[in-house]
Amino acid sequence: MSELKLNNGEVIKVKLETLPKVNEFRRFFRVFFSRKVVIFGMAVILLTIIAAIFAPVIAPYDPYEQNLCNVLQPPSAEHLLGTDTIGRDTLSRIIYGSRIALFVGVATVGIAAFIGTVIGLIAGYLGHKTYTVIMRLTDALMSMPPLMIALVLSVVLGAGVRGVMVAITFSLLPGYIRLVTGQVLSIKQNDYIMSALSMGSKKARIMFRHILPNCLSPIIVQMTMMMGLAIMMEATLSFLNMGITPPTPAWGSLCYDGYKYLLMRPVLSLSPGFAIMLLVFSFNMVGDGLRDTLDPRLRGTI
């Protein structure tokens, strides 16, 4: 019981009923893991991370080890997914390929999200001319097919991990800029921004202390979804021979190498492709789950 003083001086006693305290962490886990497909996705991602880190322990063979007496073997107990044209074990190469896929995915998405968020914050918050210039440039980048930009840029920068990373980062960037700018524009209308302004907060403080935390959820969701896209793009570039260069095992180039022997050994090109699809699917499902947990209002918009 606590006392409440009314305007006319009367004092009444009211019972304050507080809502039962919700453990945010628990709520997160309950909602997040309520769908089986999200659990599945999470499991696949964790397994892939483990496979990438402990590749030397897990992989049955050295992915670079050639064995010319043992080329194009069908799947067997010794080589679960067979061997390629110079006798390298396909399974080992796929396990090592997860390193490239995850590394490129995480790095490109992280960098693109960081740069995109900063540019988006500036465009959305400063408004006027800055906004117009940045948005028109974003529109221009948005009207170029991402694969086309990535393809040309990775040739400009020279095929290889570095070139592929810059190319994919650049093609992911406009999506983030647009997302963050949109968020900032709507958050800017809130009263708490006005009160922060009237209290004399600096622009940078408002941008990073008040606006940024409020647009983090969609950014995180977008990052998970973009992981799938980035991994797919790396695989596509490698498949077209303009991405990760041999002999480094990347799933896309494994697919391409195996494609030449499709009729004889379909497993060579089908298995790495399946790995790509599984990982991309998992990231998308986890992204879906995160979206439903972090901000159900976003359902259908991202």
Partner 1 sequence: MGAYITRRLLQAILIVLLVSIVIFIIIRLLPGDPIEMLVAQNITAENPDELVAFIKHEMKLDLPVWQQYFTWLWGAVRGDLGLSILYRYDIGQELANRLPVTLSLGLTAFVLGFVLGTLLGVIAAIKRGSWIDSLVTVMANIGITAPAFWVGIILIYILGMHLGILPIYGYTPIYKDVVMSIKQAIMPVFILSLYPVATAARLTRSSVLEVVNEDYIRTAWAKGLSQKVIILRHVLKNALMPVVTLQGLLLRNIVGGSIIVESIFVIPGMGQLLVDSMLAHDYTVVQSVMLVMSVVVVITNLIVDIAYGWLDPRIQYE
For the CB of residue 5, give the shortest distance to partner 1 in the complex, in Å: 41
Helix (H, G, I), strand (E, B) or coil at 11: strand
203 binds partner 1 (CB under 8 A): no
> Residue 151, interface with partner 1 (CB under 8 A)?
yes
Alpha-carbon distances, residue 284 vs 37, 52, 105 (angstroms) = 10, 20, 13
Tell me: does residue 140 bind partner 1 (CB under 8 A): yes
273, 238 contact by CB (below 8 A): no
Q: Does residue number 4 form part of the binding site for partner 1 (CB under 8 A)? A: no
Comparison of 41 and 63: residue with beta carbon closer to partner 1: 41
DSSP H helical ranges for 143-245: 146-156, 161-187, 191-198, 203-205, 212-214, 216-239
Contact (CB, 8 A) for 222 and 302: yes
Vertex 166: Cα angle to 249 and 130 (nearest 5): 160
Question: Residue 66 Cβ, how far from partner 1 at the closest point, in Å?
Answer: 24
**Window 158-177: residues binding partner 1 (CB under 8 A):** 158
Q: Which of 161, 166, 277, 294 binds partner 1 (CB under 8 A)?
A: 277
Q: Is 145 in the site for partner 1 (CB under 8 A)?
A: yes
CA distance linking residue 123 with residue 177, whole number of Å: 8
Residue 40 CA to residue 42 CA, distance in Å, equals 5
Binding string to partner 1 for residues 210 to 239, with x set by CB under 8 A, is what? ------------------x---x--xx--x
For residue 91, state whether it binds partner 1 (rule: CB under 8 A). Answer: no
- Is the alpha carbon torsion for 253, 257, 260, 261 positive or negative? negative
Q: How far is the CB of 235 from partner 1 (least distance, A)?
A: 6
Residue 300 lies near partner 1 (rule: CB under 8 A): yes
Number of residues interacting with partner 1: please give it, by CB under 8 A: 45
Nearer to partner 1, 63 or 258 (CB): 258
Closest by CA to 269, choosing from 238, 299, 244, 296, is 238
126: exposed, middle or buried (Cβ count in 10 Å: 0-12, 13-18, 19+) = middle
At which residue do the structure tokens 């030397």 appear? 56
Shortest Cβ 54–partner 1 spacing (Å): 25
Q: Establish if 246 lies at the interface with partner 1 (CB under 8 A).
A: no
Interaction between residue 156 and partner 1 (CB under 8 A)? yes
Contact region for partner 1 (CB under 8 A) — 42-50, 87-95, 102-110, 134-142?
Answer: 134-142
11 backbone dihedrals φ, ψ, rounded to 5°: -115, 125
Minimal distance, residue 236 CB to partner 1, in Å = 6
Q: How far is the CB of 11 from partner 1 (least distance, A)?
A: 44
- Give the up-direction half-sphere exposure of residue 218: CA atoms within 13 A in the CB hemisphere: 24
Residues that bind partner 1 (CB under 8 A): 136-137, 139-149, 151-153, 155-156, 158, 228, 232, 235-236, 239-240, 242, 252, 255, 259, 262-263, 266, 269-270, 273-274, 276-277, 280-281, 284-285, 299-301
